[in-house]
Amino acid sequence: MTAMVMGATDVFLFGVVLVIFAYAITFGFVFELTPKDRRALPNWMRPTGMHELKMTLVSVILVYLVVDFATDWAETGQSASWEMLVKPISILLLAATLRLFTFDTEHRPTGKDEATTVETEKS
């Protein structure tokens, strides 16, 4: 019974992911909204660029993979062997890669910061 519930959760989660991604693309890139209407939308429906949309997609795929692994584990109903650890190790490596990409974009200097630094050094 647990495996059936987790399988249904897996399918539901995938459907929600597709709906969220479709809304983000639609309201982020297809429709031209007034600034007032744009502010009224939730943050997940207002991507600022393709990079943010890609990061959101990879994050959602990671959550889906975790739920899929838990579903697979519940369906087998046996103790874990070392072959069963391939998927969670892959998920951890993907999550670490996503974190490195996020860290890179958060700490990348922009031209504005560099110009401010140069001006303060001259003073």
Per-residue pLDDT tens, the chain, 123 aa: give them: 777 787 787 788 788 878 877 887 887 778 787 888 888 877 777 777 777 778 878 888 888 888 888 877 777 766 667 777 888 888 899 889 888 877 655 555 555 544 444 444 444
The residue extents of the domains of the chain are 2-114
Question: The pTM is what?
Answer: 0.62
Locate 40 and state its tokens: 């009224």
Q: Looking at residue 117, what is its pLDDT?
A: 46
Q: What share of the chain is helix, strand, coil (3-state, %, to 5)?
A: 85, 0, 15
Q: Looking at residue 104, what is its pLDDT?
A: 58
